[in-house]
Structure 1
Amino acid sequence: MIDQSTSNKARLLISCSDQPGIVASISEYLFNHGANIIQSDQYSTDPEGGMFFMRIEFALPEFEERFHSVREDFSAIAERFHIDWRLESERRTKKMAIFVSKEDHCLLELLWRWRSGELQVDIPLVISNHPDLREIVESYHIPFYHIPVTKETKAEAEAQAEKLIKEHKADFIVLARYMQILSSDFVDTFEHRIINIHHSFLPAFIGANPYKKAFDRGVKLIGATAHYVTDDLDEGPIIEQEVLRVNHRYSTEELRVAGRNVEKIALARAVNWHVNDEVLVHKNKTIVFN
């Protein structure tokens, strides 16, 4: 894994009402703090009264001394333009908690990318409502926690999971085919910090058994959707979608097997974009600067 501890890069993400002078003011601000802009992406929904979104990646000499001043001093610009903003240091490696049930394909994809250094995160824990994948997870020297979930124990199980997440200081959660519906309280606690993979090209085939529904409908494309979790089942802001062409010869099981490859690809991309601060959420949509 790449050592990020000596990186001198940071990322600034902003969203606000579109108005003149935003880009110029931010560029001048970074210049005055000695920053060198490496990449800048922006998007406006409508130049006349719309929303403006921007992601800037910049290098900062004397990083330790200057990063905190960049963060503290930016409030003046933020107040002037009424900006919602976030400043991230590349030196800080995000911590990702994984929730999983019995299927292992999405979990293994994330673990493989993490071990190979493609996914720049720490994985402090994996939580599952079944014990089946303990051996696989622990072979990567990652703590595995089995928390059974029933209708009667759901609240207690979520409280236990929340406690573990906070103890391990996880920044976000990935549901790698975790076959449980999370409560509103849990989702609200980790707003826009829970990424789910739905085994369907949303908004089609919401809910359970999408491959059976796809087979019955005779679809020619199957897909998977990675999205942030909200209280509305499978209707949170979409981060990434992937599709695969199929035909009438595919059985329900063959659709399911093919779909696993689509699921793990879509989820891995979404997680990587989240880790690299390339996703901004506005209402129930995302702006992805990838």
Structure 2
Amino acid sequence: MTLTQEAPAHPKQGKPAHHQASLIVQGEDRTGIVAAVASVLGGHGANIVSLDQYSDNPQGGAFFQRTVFGLDNLQAALPEIEHDLDTRLVRDYGLTYTLRDLSVPKRVAIFASKSDHCLLDLLWRHRRGQLPVTVAMVISNHPDTAEEVRSFGIPFFHVPSMGPDKSAAEAEHLRLLKDNVDFVVLARYMQILSGDFVENVGVPIINIHHSFLPAFIGAGPYAKAKERGVKLVGATAHYVTENLDEGPIIEQDVVRVTHADTAADLMRRGADVERSVLSRAVLWHAEDRVIRDGNHTIVFA
């Protein structure tokens, strides 16, 4: 196995959310949850910037809430806020929560193959400050995109993955990712990840699928779509699970096509949809706007 690392530079990061934090709360719906959250935050002098909530059944159903709040000296105050949230939300209401300082961008690794449209779109958006993440590395089973990735100042690793046995490649992937990333994005990475890898990587994985799932699985999806005379092509961004292309869906979109469009036209238009769907999914995940609930998602976009 060959391993090539391009020297990292210092890419521009997304604009930091100074003194702001996100609070994600979920559990069984009960009277008083929103008031309890506001009471804890208000007690620490925090200002609620935005609040979104959803309940699938107000009579004891599942409750989800995303709150963004601002507070001077946020980092110093977070331990005390967590202590009070443990008391009010966990002990009194039986809820779970996550609290994160939004000024610290999530670290992402991007996996790619020869197709570069999703990869380069993410890197361009990141350089423009449109994605509040730190791109820790790009990993590819082909060296084709090394020079273009280098131009963005991002570390590039070539890890070949050939044949039915992917264990050596996946072991190298895990070594590179360990303690270095908060999530992984498959930007048209044309390899199937094993169940062992998904279980051991320890962070969420987002994939972009070249169809409005489920449809036209396997190779040559746009040629198959042309043969069937489709009137829509689309893309689906979803979390990866051990079951191929069956993970919780984050975002989907479609574009209309006609009988006059060639397979190449469908591929071009499909690539546009893939880029936009994947970038939205990555943005929403980076901003803690996606809450997983079994095989479903609640997206406060």
Structure 1 length-normalised TM: 0.95
The unaligned stretches of length 5 or more in structure 1 are: none
| Counterparts of 1:187 and 1:256, CA distance in 2 | 29
Corresponding residue for residue 31 of structure 2:
20
The unaligned stretches of length 5 or more in structure 2 are 1-12
Runs of at least 4 residues of structure 1 off by over 6 A? none
Kindly state the Cα deviation for residue 213 of structure 1 after the two structures are TM-superposed.
2.5
- Determine whether 1:92 maps to 2:86: no
SS at match of 2:285: helix
**Do the aligned residues in 1 keep the contact of 2:14 with 2:131 (CA within 8 Å)?**
no
TM-score scaled to structure 2, two decimals?
Answer: 0.92
When residues 112 and 35 of structure 1 are mapped into structure 2, their CA distance, relative to the original with a 3 A threshold, is: same
Structure with the bigger RCO (C-alpha within 8 Å, sep 6+) is 2
Distance 2:254 2:149 in 1: 28
| Residue identity in the other structure for 2:113 | S
The number of aligned residues is 288
How far 1:152 moved relative to its partner?
5.0
Residue 79 of structure 1 is matched in structure 2 by: 91
Which residue identity does 1:81 align to in structure 2? Answer: Y
Secondary structure in structure 1 of the residue aligned to 2:178? helix
Matches within 5 A, 1:73-222: 73-76=84-87, 77-151=89-163, 153-166=165-178, 169-190=180-201, 193-222=204-233
Q: Which amino acid in 2 is paired with 1:199? A: H
d(CA) in 1 for partners of 2:195, 2:271: 28
Contact 1:207 1:233 in 2 (8 A): no
Residue 188 to residue 260, structure 1, CA distance change in 2 (3 Å): same
Residue deviations 1:252-285, cap 9 Å, x none? 2221111111100100000000001100000111
Q: Paired residue for 1:9, among 12, 20, 23?
A: 20
Go from structure 1 to structure 2 and tell me whether the alpha carbon gap of 1:43 and 1:191 turns closer, same or farther (over 3 Å shift).
farther
Query: CA offsets, 1:30-75, max 9 Å, x none?
Result: 1112111110000010112310000000011221221221123311
CA distance in 1, matches of 2:93, 2:272: 44
Question: Are 1:274 and 2:281 an aligned pair?
Answer: no
- Measured in 2, the distance between the counterparts of 1:276 and 1:170 equals 15
% of aligned pairs identical? 50
Aligned match for 1:259, one of 266, 270, 273: 270
In 1: Cα distance, 2:14 partner to 2:240 partner? 30
Give the SS at the match of 2:39. helix
Relative to 1, partners in 2 of residues 1:161 and 1:2: Cα closer, same or farther, differing over 3 Å? Answer: closer
Query: What is the alpha-carbon root mean square deviation over aligned residues?
Result: 1.5
Query: For residues 62 and 18 of structure 1, what CA distance do their matches in structure 2 show?
Result: 32
Moved more, 277-286 or 184-193: 184-193
Deviates more, 1:199-208 or 1:234-243: 199-208
User: Match of 2:292, as an amino acid?
Assistant: V
Match of 2:241 in 1: 230
1:225 Cα offset (Å): 0.5
Give 1:18 deviation, angstroms. Answer: 1.1
Q: Equivalents in 2 of 1:121, 1:174: separation in Å?
A: 12
1:206 is paired with a residue whose SS is coil
Is the CA contact 1:215–1:252 (under 8 Å) kept in the aligned structure 2? yes
Which secondary structure does the structure 2 equivalent of 1:158 belong to?
A: helix
Question: 1:192·1:229 contact (CA, 8 Å) conserved in 2?
Answer: no
CA contact (8 A) 1:192 1:228 kept: no
**3-state SS of paired residue (1:74):** helix
Aligned residues of 2:253 and 2:273 also touching (Cα < 8 A): yes
- Report the equivalent of 1:53: 64
